[in-house]
A and B are shown apart, each in its own frame.
Chain A
Amino acid sequence: MDHKTVVETTINGERMEFLCEPRQSLLEVLRDVLGMTGSKEGCLTGDCGACTVLVDGRAACSCLMLGVEAEGHKIETVEGLALGSKLHPLQQKFLENASLQCGICTPGFLMSAKALLDHNPHPTEAEIRYALAGNLCRCTGYDKIVRAVLEVSNAKASKAA
């Protein structure tokens, strides 16, 4: 029963093939099979959002998805945000606003914020707070995180103007 399956998928724009057991979650595959440890393991019940990745452009908990379910889908992880040494605007604003302390929740927040801004480039503060409600942070108290996302959205608005 512990046979492994070949899974073909796209991760951060790159076509990939990996071998995994059906019982392994996408999070386990990312971390333990592919060595992509940016996505974090928190609760394993879908409450904390530390493992958030994008599946076909939508935020999802990689702990609540089997690795084999990634077959044929587009997965985005925090490792795909920066372009070489150039940080993604969200990463830059998180740094500038000190939106992280211990950093465990940060990859999940970044991916949820990316999913939000990709679909709704100029959200209200309330929309940001609802979109990030599936991500828990026990250090900063959320305000700095929300501020960073708002600043990215405002910067986009002034660039467009």
Chain B
Amino acid sequence: MHAINYEAPKTLKDAVALLAQYGENGRPLCGGTDLIIQLRAGVRRPEHVVDVKKIPELLQLSYDSKKGLRLGAAVPAIEVCENKDLQRHYPGLVEAAHLIGSNQIQTRASVGGNLCNGSPAADTTPALIALGARARVVGPKGEREVKVEEFCTAPGRTVLAPGELLVEILIDAPKPHSADAYLRFIPRNEMDIAVVGVGSWLHLDGDKVSAARISLGAVAATPLFAAKASESLAGKKLDDAAIDRAAKLAIELSSPIDDMRGTAEFRRHLVGVLTKRTLLIAAERARKA
């Protein structure tokens, strides 16, 4: 690895000032499970690494039945997996966090870092999109909120300008009779990168869907919000015809590539299968929520 300068500021203000000063020559360090590999491989070559794990705002995880979830950008995945409120109210997000690498990786990696790394195949990003999550970003010019589906702009790239830092992820409190689910396909049981990932969130009104959000991972340059597929379910009964139509619209949105993990054709097929399955799981959960 090339020589780096390491700093671990204790306040958000100091972190933003350092990142603004370093610009493209600085990079925030969270769990390091992507960044340290990139530094070692020379894929990213910042001179300055700013450890953000000592900033209180980035470490907080709080759930309130009215205000919803505030998930600090540096909270490790393992804490998301073990949190009882999250297991109960955002099971799809927990499912996705549980799929990030091994226990060793989950100890260090965070949901916020997963988002900022900008991989199209990230597992937690589609789960966040399905939940309608927002990213709170603070930078030298102030702060802003970005919808998670607008956060990634290309593989490895995000909307963060030099000096900007993801502080936390915000998710609304769950409505009664709503729930989420996330599934990914990999050819083995553990430790792999998604061939396709799909997240679904449903809000039910009796036997009808009042709102739905479907998200897709690993089938385009960025994780996607499947707007047409989601809207097609609104006001409909969740029967086979409605589910098939949503799955078809999700497939139409996807633009996967052929690579060692699967062909584009197989990925399109998987989008349909996983859309159906996650909708059914989310519906089952929403009836009990």
Contacts and interface: CB of A to CB of B under 8 A. Distances in A.
B44 to A, nearest CB: 13
Interface residues of B, number: 30
Interface stretch (B14-22, B67-75, B98-106): B98-106
A8 interface: no
Interface of B: 1-6, 8, 29, 31-33, 36-37, 39-40, 47, 49, 51, 53, 78, 101-105, 107-108, 189-191
Given A59-B107, A60-B107, A134-B101, A65 B32 contact: yes
Given A60-B104, A61-B105, A133-B191, 14 more contacts: A1-B5, A5-B6, A22-B6, A22-B49, A46-B104, A46-B105, A55-B107, A58-B78, A61-B33, A65-B32, A66-B49, A68-B51, A134-B105, A135-B102
Interface string A63-80: 111101101000000000
A19 to B, nearest CB: 13
A91 interface: no
A96 B6 CA distance: 45
Contacts of A133: 102-103, 189-191
A46 B4 contact: no
A60 B104 CA distance: 4
A112 interface: yes
Residue in A25, A115, A134 with the greatest tally of chain B CB atoms within 10 Å? A134
A44 B32 CA distance: 12
Q: Is the interface of A mostly helix, strand, loop or mixed?
A: mixed
6 contacts: A58-B107, A64-B33, A64-B37, A65-B36, A69-B51, A112-B103
Contacts of A63: 36
Interface string A121-135: 000000000110111
B36 A2 contact: no
Given A22-B6, A22-B49, A133-B190, A59 B36 contact: no
A78 B6 CA distance: 28
